[in-house]
Amino acid sequence: MDHQDKSHIENIEKKEIYSEEEKKFILDRLNRERLERQRFEQPSRSQRSTYTEEEKNRILQELNDKRIRDEHRKEMKRIRFLNKKVYIFGNKNYFKLKDMEREYFLEVDTCEKFTNRPSIVPLYYRTFGEMKKRDVLLKIEPNSDKIFISKDAIRVYFKPFALEDAYTPRQ
């Protein structure tokens, strides 16, 4: 860049409205800079277009492992809620948790949103015909069909609980 271009740029920078010639000058300069950047970036992308057989196999194995983990997670989610007894109170559906000190229920709609990250979820219990709510910390583990609940969000201690199975008639 010579001295004349530099002084021309300094004069352009001070303006708020540009003439057609100045607009063309600015756009040409920006285009040159963009093309120059692309020329430097291009070789780095094209250099990595071929993989060795070992790298291909490793990438395929990683993709396959991820697919298997995802399928397993979906299957455990399906099993966790398969053939579970649904209770209807008012206009909402609930699953009942087994082996708790009282009858606690989880709303069916919230069960779809469970993840392995702990989240605060309402547990419901019945008193004199009405449903009361208690917030607990809840999470699921990908390798378990149980639901892990901590009653205290400050002193976190997760205990596994299962949902009540639907009754199957004996033959």
pLDDT of residue 1: 52
Give the end-to-end CA distance of the chain in Å, rounded to a whole number: 92
Pairing of the two strands 119-127 and 86-89? unpaired
pLDDT of residue 69: 87
Q: How far is CA 55 from the centre of its chain?
A: 28
What pTM, to 2 d.p., does this model score? 0.56
Number of residues assigned to the chain: 171
Count other C-beta atoms under 10 Å from residue 105's C-beta: 23
Count other C-beta atoms under 10 Å from residue 137's C-beta: 18
Task: Provide the residue ranges of all domains of the chain, joining segments of one domain with +.
Answer: 3-47, 85-161
Mean pLDDT in order along the chain per 10 residues (171 residues): 59 72 87 86 60 89 92 83 85 88 87 82 86 88 84 83 74 52
pLDDT of residue 169: 52
Partner residues linked to 123 by β-bridges: 134
pLDDT of residue 62: 93
Q: Check: CB of residue 122 under 8 Å from CB of residue 107.
A: yes
Give burial (CB, 10 Å; 0-12/13-18/19+) of 93.
middle
